Structure 1
């Protein structure tokens, strides 16, 4: 098993270093130029659009609101990547990896805007509101359903199975570590018991449909983020004299001026970009699935909301994790990654904080499990509308949740890196030719904003964009998929 993991890591490292990272960076730079730095100049609009009200869905209930769609995507974003992933990047790449997380977040915000705007533009109606994502804009925008099916398979495997196992693995590890802190031995039945409980609670939510997922994540995401931020701020407050030295350490390590953990400059950059992408998911093709579910009056609105999600994830949550680790003068090394955050909290706040972090991780990872399920479910529906197929996915999803809680973390993380990279590659290939549509949609949004009106989009405003399924003008017939 160790040999398989080593081979997988080597192949994945080469794929990220020589293909995916350069492609993502170049495309994000291209989008930034074409959209005139939308991810920077429209930050106030990002916050403003969180407050939008949804329309009534065909089944008579409220569709998903912009904030609920943000919560679903944030639920998937804010989890293992923010705590264990950031710690792993620092353990291997040193403090400089944090700098490259920041840089990439600012750059790939443009890619996030493009993919989420396109997901809104090419979404379809269903009985509870809307659904969509990269598979849908590949089919309707590129006229390439086959590519959409490839993406749907990859995201279902990545989020429905692999990433889901990562989250349940983190929950199990955090609980076991919390037991060890008390001085008690960890019983062999604990991990399977954790997996069984997680499966039961997850089933109660996911079998309730997208609205139940939205309501649960809408409640969990703000609460768990606030608790974690307050804990991290407490650590920083106790170590205010270390704030400037930590910044200096991050910048010096980022440019190879100070080697930490034996990490070469290339390793520092790759670790920062890869873990940052795992965390904020910009360009990955996952968040657009949640973005498409929102009921908004203009596609660009949810594109802006999801870009704000990238910043909240990386510039706030990941930065908090990095600071609380670095002010504790950590011991570096690849094997240290999973426990670095808990050790840092314990060193600054005492043993109780380990249990508090375990509670936060439970909420973070559980909400991520729900977000992961939604991503997989939306794409299974793209491939087949048969109820038996969806039931099969749900059962396999729950099995993967259980297996992740008892599996080995190294192989699970390696698989996550590999499948995430392949999924991102397919999404980026589709985004490049469709960027022109996002440019036209943003121009329409900004033109209406300049006129002092709340932007409203109908497909007849930009008739040169083909394949748009929703956004009917007045008098047009509305079609709903079942």
Structure 2
């Protein structure tokens, strides 16, 4: 079994997804006319909105913060450090590139999630890849496979990974026993997730801007206090990305190492194309009332996660001068060493606190995705949802105590399968994304506030809940 899981992960993560996610991102970037660049200001307009609220959904800003809660995790602290250690400064350039094309993928999948959303248990909006696979492609069985993979990977095992990161950080920084951390984390998680999607959204809209803002402020301070060294760091990033100069790579060295590690970091961090964020995108009440509106919101999420938060970590490490491929210091320890250089003992403490916020919000964000999957499987009623929430809390406690590689490898395989299914689905439905984008842009150009009426697009009506888009 272990050998089979290892083989699947090699296929998924070594070939299918690395190249598939890049190819799909490039495909949507070109087919949508470089939508993420030409309409970048639209992303901010769609987040802010007019303040109109449909009681069946959460606000666009809440949807953004919940998706960021999941995206911005320990990988933004430890993962970026690993990419730098293995691939050198050039890895950051390739991380930027994959995020830029990934914004188009995030736009496409969340636009589809909005179009095919439905009213779930309690009247709240539900949707995501399982729904557009079932309703748009007519393949409900494939949607069910996707849903099971999502629950296993994001809802259960990856939450155990985040809990393990918090427990390690608190034991190292404050000497707190792992069991105590696990129990305390489970209590906090339970308070939030037992309140449902609306409670998760309320917590995320306050905590996520605070945690990301504080982290970015520290990075800005480091930039300002080391401003003379910034041009040299940027030059090193570009030189390393293309194999020029002595800093052409990390441990592995060379252009290939820089590209591979930067691409992986970008893909794993921003989740564009994975099929996770569309589950929360579907629960939003878009403003303007058009499926593309939430697509723009989630594209902005990729920008914030990778172009801002991941870059903040990278810049603080590179400006510290502590990156050394020969000393074996990588991951969280490398980021802690960098912040200790900049801020003294406060730096190491801040990293432990940042890991708590980043990982805790990832837990509640990951769980939020699963409610849509449960609803799709017909398990959206109180009993099954309570069972899932209880299981999540148990996984948080278990994850704080130990890390079992085989289980985590299984989650990687599960996520690899769901991402592969999602990529095939969004490419198959890409014509619909093009139609929706053209409709939105045309209305903006005409000076109108975009509004989608399904009656005006009979070719898109199959599988769409007309009452939502009348």
TM-score between both structures, scaled by the size of structure 2: 0.92
1:21 aligns with 2:31: no
Alignment of 1:82-481 (within 5 A): 82-126=76-120, 127-179=122-174, 186=175, 190-257=177-244, 258-296=248-286, 297-329=289-321, 330-332=323-325, 336-385=330-379, 386-408=381-403, 414=409, 417-472=412-467
> Which whole-Å deviations, capped at 9, do the CAs of 1:273-330 have from their partners, x for residues lacking one?
2221121111111110111011121000000011011111111111000011112222
Q: Which residue of 1 aligns with 2:32?
A: 35
Q: Which residue of 2 aligns with 1:70?
A: 64
CA contact (8 A) 1:460 1:473 kept: no
Shift of 1:76: 0.6
CA contact (8 A) 1:235 1:345 kept: no
Shift of 1:249: 2.1
Which structure 1 residue ranges, 5 or more long, are not aligned?
180-185, 477-482
CA distance in 2, matches of 1:364, 1:101: 19
CA contact (8 A) 1:49 1:66 kept: yes
CA contact (8 A) 1:17 1:270 kept: no
3-state SS of paired residue (1:55):
coil
CA distance in 2, matches of 1:343, 1:140: 50
CA distance in 1, matches of 2:59, 2:279: 14
CA distance in 2, matches of 1:253, 1:9: 31
TM-score between both structures, scaled by the size of structure 1: 0.90
Shift of 1:14: 5.1
3-state SS of paired residue (1:464):
helix
Distance 1:309 1:46, change over 3 A: same
> Which whole-Å deviations, capped at 9, do the CAs of 1:41-65 have from their partners, x for residues lacking one?
000110011122343436xxxx301
Shift of 1:92: 2.1
CA contact (8 A) 1:121 1:468 kept: no
Shift of 1:244: 1.9
Which structure 2 residue ranges, 5 or more long, are not aligned?
none
Q: Which residue of 2 aligns with 1:57?
A: 55
Please tell me the root mean square deviation across aligned C-alpha atoms, in Å: 2.3
> Which whole-Å deviations, capped at 9, do the CAs of 1:20-46 have from their partners, x for residues lacking one?
222222222221121111111000110
3-state SS of paired residue (2:125):
strand
3-state SS of paired residue (2:458):
coil
CA contact (8 A) 2:250 2:258 kept: no
The answer to which of 411-420 and 461-470 deviates more is: 411-420
How many residues in Structure 1 have an aligned counterpart in Structure 2?
460
CA distance in 2, matches of 1:23, 1:448: 33
CA distance in 2, matches of 1:42, 1:246: 30
CA distance in 2, matches of 1:391, 1:254: 48
